[in-house]
Amino acid sequence: MDKQPNPVLLDALDPLITALRIGGFRVVGPTVRDGVIRFAELSSAAESPTGWTDAQEPGRYRLRQEGELVFGYAASPDSAKRYTHPPRTTLFRWDKGPIEPEIDAPPTALIGLRACDLAALAVQDRVLGGSAAYRARRAALFLVAVDCATPSAVCFCTSMGTGPKAEAGFDLALTELSEPHRFLARAGSERGAEILAALPHRASAPADLAAAADVTRTATARMEPRRFELDGVKEQVAAARTSPVWEEIASRCLTCANCTIVCPTCFCTTVEDGTDLSDGAAERVERWDSCFTFGFTELGGEPVRASGAARYRQWLSHKFSTWVDQFGEYGCVGCGRCVTWCPAGIDLVEELERLR
Amino acid sequence: MSVPKLAVWKLASCDGCQLTLLDCEDELLSVAAKVEIAYFLEASSFKGRGPYDLSLIEGSVTTEEDLHRVQHIRRVSKHVVTIGACATAGGIQALRNFADVREFISVVYARPDYIATLEHSTPVSAHVAVDFELRGCPIDKRQLLEVLSAFLAGRRPVIPEESVCVECKERGNPCVMVAHGTPCLGPVTQAGCGALCPAFNRGCFGCFGPLRSANAATLAGLPGVTRTFSDFQEAR
Ligand code: SF4
Ligand code: SF4
Ligand code: SF4
Ligand code: SF4
């Protein structure tokens, strides 16, 4: 976009949801379901988690009702990964010859992505951008970001330099403001600007911009206790290869793979071939895998990384060291998902500090 | 090429795993078209003669007679696949392995002297070579069909050795342990069921047996889990 128009005020989300639906998008956003805030297809703002917030700590997630915010919670177990890099994809079928499946990439508007989620998409773009299916699914997304107001106790995007304010990579970004309740909206793309211009809106005043800056300041301050120095981490993790800390972590790690699967940047997959009983057809499916599974490094029937220590080391080293060798940036955006959703409550930030 | 012969055998078990084969309904016709179901007493009283190309064995070895039967099955079968927790690990009846079976018998049966049983309940693999062990209590229909297709195609079955958590996340369940504090054996249990229980907000019961790398001591030792497991005990 050539020039940033002034942000405008929106009083409600419903006109945006309606406009996106009319524009041909399925609208996916946060909703309360089974005790968590997660993504689901929304038909109106009434389904959003207004007045709900989450308390997150290592290995624990609880919802409670508090305040009046629609987006008053931190990262949910879902990320954009499910939409850009789905858990299971058919690569091709074989029936006397290859049959390429159509790429399933329905136009989807994702509402409520955070700055860390946008950063994770940028990481994915570099890793998976070579895949036509990924590019198609990515191009089908319309991204509505929300500046983080309420980071959880496990968030550390400020340390990774990815948040809490959405800076780039969105079509629209909102800052939710209180007293009175309103959204300050800015466009990040031409089509975002077009949608915004067509919505009922009011001009913003300097006080609105100041209130938005306050939201980011407060959110940043909430993450201060957890801030760590990123400089040198790559070298220090690499140098800790033979540290006894890995064994100690392994005594607590269940090698369940939850951390990698919830991580919005972890991209690993395995390929499974299946044959059909009835017609002799075959199918090749790609599905999520993780460096914590045995099959991941299986060679000649045995895993190369058999011990829990070797597998935990692979995960943490990839995120903070070898990812940089591979892709020129970190593999972590600081969303804290792997910390909350680790049933053993292992906090990678704490482990990093012990390894340095 | 002659049609491969399939046999389905039952030892000490509840029939649930064999039922999974009958449950295949639509796919059962495809199976029947590809193989001759020569011996499957749960489906038909017809007893086709061996040798068999593939024998599926349900149940654990708990009697002298079964001990001889598994040896016979092995002799007359090209491939032996055990189906379910009983045949693969000894099943619930293997509780006796940690106690005195005579005591159990005296408590359970009106005429203990009618009961002839072995001290231990053992998996088939404790007695004869097994080509593949399919886990589950009961086994999963998709996995059974995969094993059958794999054996018919002469390839290795694709049965991932990963935790239930991987399937759980793939399915999009919120983790019942993290989000609800419900004890769950998913992290130490091999996948296969598609994370059925967590999908209904219940903890995993471990039907598919221990994950190859299971760190069960850690799971049991987690402060939250010990607490929830003991609350669970007290609540009963
Ligand atoms: S490693 Fe953990 S904190 Fe970092 S991006 Fe992945 S899930 Fe988020
Ligand atoms: S951390 Fe493990 S699962 Fe994640 S991208 Fe790296 S190797 Fe793959
Ligand atoms: S770090 Fe936690 S989530 Fe990751 S494999 Fe270990 S126990 Fe599972
Ligand atoms: S609910 Fe159970 S199986 Fe699912 S992720 Fe949590 S611990 Fe694993």
Domain boundaries, chain B: 5-153, 164-235
Question: The whole model's pTM is what?
Answer: 0.93
Beta strands, E only, chain A? 8-10, 26-33, 36-41, 52-57, 60-65, 88-94, 98-99, 108-113, 141-146, 172-177, 182-187, 202-203, 269-275, 282-288, 298-299, 302-303
pLDDT value, residue B232? 44
Nearest CA in chain A to B144: A277
- Within 6 A (CB) of ligand 4 lie A 258, 343; B 164-165, 168-169, 173, 175-177, 184, 186-187, 195, 198, 204
Nearest CA in chain A to B145: A277
CB contact under 8 A, A293 and B160: yes
**pLDDT tier at A122, thresholds 50, 70, 90:** very high
CB contact under 8 A, A308 and B213: yes
pLDDT value, residue B224? 54
Interval between CA A339 and ligand 3 midpoint (Å)? 9
Q: Which residues of B touch A77 (CB under 8 A)?
A: 174-175, 179
CB contact under 8 A, B169 and A261: yes
Q: Which domain holds residue A319?
A: 233-355
How close is the nearest chain A Cα to the Cα of B92, in Å?
25
Structure confidence by residue, pLDDT tens digits, B166-177: 999 999 999 999
- Looking at the structure of chain A, the number of domains it has is 2
Answer whether residue B233 shows pLDDT above 50: no
Structure confidence by residue, pLDDT tens digits, A20-78: 999 999 999 999 999 999 999 999 999 999 999 999 999 999 999 999 999 999 999 98
The answer to whether residues A250 and A124 belong to one domain is: no
Predicted interface score ipTM higher than 0.90: yes
Q: Write the CA distances from A298 to A292, A301, B81, B152, B160, integer angstroms.
A: 12, 6, 23, 24, 12
How close is the nearest chain A Cα to the Cα of B140, in Å?
16
Q: Which residues of B touch A253 (CB under 8 A)?
A: 215, 218
**pLDDT tier at A3, thresholds 50, 70, 90:** low
**Is residue A1 domain-resident?**
no
Which structure tokens are listed for B138? 């009961």
The answer to whether residues A265 and A301 belong to one domain is: yes
Which structure tokens are listed for A319? 């995120």
pLDDT value, residue B229? 47
The answer to whether residues A154 and A238 belong to one domain is: no
Answer whether residue B61 shows pLDDT above 50: yes
**pLDDT tier at B223, thresholds 50, 70, 90:** low
CATH for B5-153, among 3.40.50.700, 2.20.25.10, 1.25.50.10, 3.40.50.300? 3.40.50.700
Q: Which residues of A touch B181 (CB under 8 A)?
A: 60
**Residue of A13, A37, A219, A213 whose CA lies nearest to A116:** A219
